[in-house]
A and B are shown apart, each in its own frame.
Chain A
Amino acid sequence: MAEVLAAVPARTAAAAGRTSGAFPTAGARRRYVLVVAMLTLLAAASLIGLLVHGNPVPFGTAGFWRIVQLRVTSVLVILVVAIAQATATVAFQTAANNRIVTPSIMGFESLYTAVQTTAVFVLGAAGVTALQGVPQFALQVVLMTGFAVALYGWLLSGRRGSMHVMLLIGIVIGGGLGAVSTFMQRLLTPSEFDVLAARLFGSVANADASYLPLAIPLCLAASALLFTRARRLNVLALGPDAANALGVGHRREQLRVLLLVAVLMATSTALVGPMTFLGFLVATLAYQWADTHDHRLVLPVAVLTAVVVLGGAYFVLKHVFAAQGAVSIIIELVGGSVFLLVLLRKGRL
């Protein structure tokens, strides 16, 4: 019997170039490099465009650079939100073993909406200003992270803990908070409602430069931790039984990932407001474009895509429509169409 196997290594050696790596063929690898190069170029172009385009002061003068400096804030905000949303959504979908969910539905955004609405409802138009400031920002981040962690911890740690039940309860709580917010909004005066509405669209302009010293480290730390766990995420994606069989404690790993996702989503939402569709859009596009299961390669593509989408939307809004406001509207309109197009053309997630 042993001779059967003795023959095997010879065949293996003959078939050199057999690899279990992220790309089955050299063509797929080249395609990935090309995609990353293109996305990097586009991302750089949109960010540089935001910095220098339409600067009324002639290039090179002191005034020119002062205006560029003023615009650095929005570029930083875009980077923070892009990294947070992209990493969080890809990791969340893997932890949930489901490619059509987004962490936004876990109640982060409805909690944000409820907090903002309550502030305006109780304090009037002054409520919006009452919520601005670094301590308030930190409080919102802590509140949203705490809410999510409590929910995950409670629903996933039990003996019969189930991801599906957790998602469902997250959606129900989100819906409940949304309904309460809508009810309070009905009772606001039109002018108060107007002030509030501006806060409820995801917008780069919502962010204040003073939040960044807190938001940047939070975002970088949490996303870096997720990046270092990329190989474990790959195993997690195989499902609970396969992951456990391969020695990756599925439940524990899932909770760790969800904790990091909560930090990222809370930071992003407290910074710019709801961006419901952004994470979902870039995660789906990233899987299409990277065309691999390997999170070490999908995550960078997702981040770059998010920078392009967010930076591009903000650029278009600012310089084409001369409006500062809600990037989320553009993202949902254009992004939604791109998303449908890609999905219909490829026919799979």
Chain B
Amino acid sequence: MNAADGTARPNPAPETDDEIVGLGTRVRSREHAEGTGSGISIAGVRKRYGDEVAIGPVDLEIPAGGVTALIGPNGAGKSTLLTMIGRLLGMDEGSIRISGFDVGTTRSKDLATVVSILRQENHFVTRLTVRQLVGFGRFPHSRGRITRADEEVVSRAIDFLELGELEKRYLDELSGGQRQRAYVAMVLAQDTGTVLLDEPLNNLDMKHAVRMMRHLQRISDELGKSVVVVLHDINFAARYADRICAMKDGEVVAFGPVADIMRGDVLTDVFETPVSVIDGPDGPLAVWH
């Protein structure tokens, strides 16, 4: 690895033995993953839009492993923060490190083996099958020359999201929920330690939203990946996330385990609307109206 200019380069060494086999062998227990001390650390990050609107300063340590949900009212800066973590958007100040790699200085193609990100709108012009799309997830590893090992990883990502039946279908022949799953499979095939998803439940009905959240939970539990996801529905966050990060007016106002955030006073403050939390059959439920 060329590190002559002193910037951090992702050194694939800690993960090389797994990399060839991919996905399946990266199974780690969540406790183990928390112990490694990697994860996302955000220090003094700011982003300005004109004079009025600004995000930050955000300081946040997201431990490795588990599902972290970003919640907050519209315009709170959840998606902006997520896209900055995923280096799709530059920040004006501060720094973000993912598993030790500085997002601002690490080369994008190296970062692509550390973190994957899925945006909300995916406007794909080309005629692609599900499997071809998922295959693009291997680009950071194979530079477009898909090897047999890559095909294995792609197959596993597809099977993991139960897309096996659909893998030869073209994307324009899928329902919204199926397409969303295909995109998630692509991100999964990228086989990065950290997976960022921007509102993956958008446009999904109840059934598909629940299934998507279960998939994300499994990605974290069974594959040992850190998942950070922007969610609109706090009850999904409460049920499926391990921690919640609440944002408001561009700043993080609360961050902690679900139980600490799912409190009437905290949520009322975050959303500026009366919210009460009741005990549901599967844990706390937020109620508003």
- A241, B144: Cβ atoms closer than 8 Å: no
Question: Does B53 sit at the interface, judged by CB under 8 A?
Answer: no
On whether the beta carbons of A231 and B143 are closer than 8 Å, the reply is: yes
B contact residues around A237 at 8 Å (CB)? 124-126
Q: What string of 1s and 0s marks CB contacts (under 8 Å) between A236-249 and chain B? A: 01110110111111
Chain A, interface SS category: loop
Stretch at the interface among B97-105, B149-157, B208-216: B149-157
A5 touches B23 (CB 8 A): yes
B54 to chain A, nearest CB (A): 16
Asked if A242 meets B136 with Cβ closer than 8 Å, knowing A9-B152, A248-B109, the reply is yes
Given contacts A8-B160, A12-B156, contact A239 B124 (CB under 8 A): yes
Number of interface residues of A (CB under 8 A): 40
* B122 touches A (CB below 8 Å): yes
Across chains A and B, the number of contacting residue pairs, with CB separation under 8 Å, is 127
With a CB–CB cut-off of 8 A, which chain A residues contact B116?
Answer: 245
Q: A242-B136, A246-B190 are in contact. Are A1 and B154 (CB under 8 A)?
A: no
Stretch at the interface among A19-27, A138-146, A256-264, A302-310: A19-27
Interface residues on B, range: 35 or more
Contact among B129, B139, B223 with A246 in the assembled complex (CB-CB below 8 Å) = B139
Instruction: Name the interface residues of B212-241: CB closer than 8 Å to any CB of A.
Output: 218, 221-223
The yes or no answer to A6 lying at the interface (CB within 8 A) is yes
Q: A232 an interface residue at 8 Å Cβ cutoff? A: yes
Contact of B88 among A6, A99, A245, A291 (CB under 8 A): A245
Given A9-B156, A245-B88, A246-B190, the answer on whether A19 and B151 have CB atoms closer than 8 Å is yes
Least distance between B220 CB and chain A CB atoms (Å): 11
Q: Say whether B87 faces chain A, with CB atoms less than 8 Å apart.
A: yes
In this complex, what residue of A is CB-closest to B186? A242
Task: Decide yes or no whether B207 CB sits under 8 A from chain A.
Answer: no
CA distance A310 to B53 in the complex (A): 55
Chain A residues with Cβ under 8 A from B168's Cβ?
24-25
Give the shortest distance, in Å, between A29 (CB) and chain B (any CB).
13
A282 at the interface (CB under 8 A from B): no
- Contacting pair B136 A235 (CB below 8 A): yes
- Shortest CB–CB separation between residue A252 and chain B, in angstroms? 9
Q: In the complex the two chains form, is B135's CB within 8 Å of A20's CB? A: yes
Of the A-B pairs whose beta carbons lie under 8 Å apart in the complex, a sample of 10, sorted by A's number, is A11-B159, A19-B151, A20-B132, A20-B154, A21-B132, A234-B136, A235-B136, A241-B119, A246-B112, A246-B139
Give B contacts to A, CB under 8 Å.
23-24, 27, 86-88, 107-113, 116-119, 122-129, 131-132, 134-140, 143-146, 150-152, 154-156, 159-160, 164, 167-168, 172, 187, 190, 218, 221-223
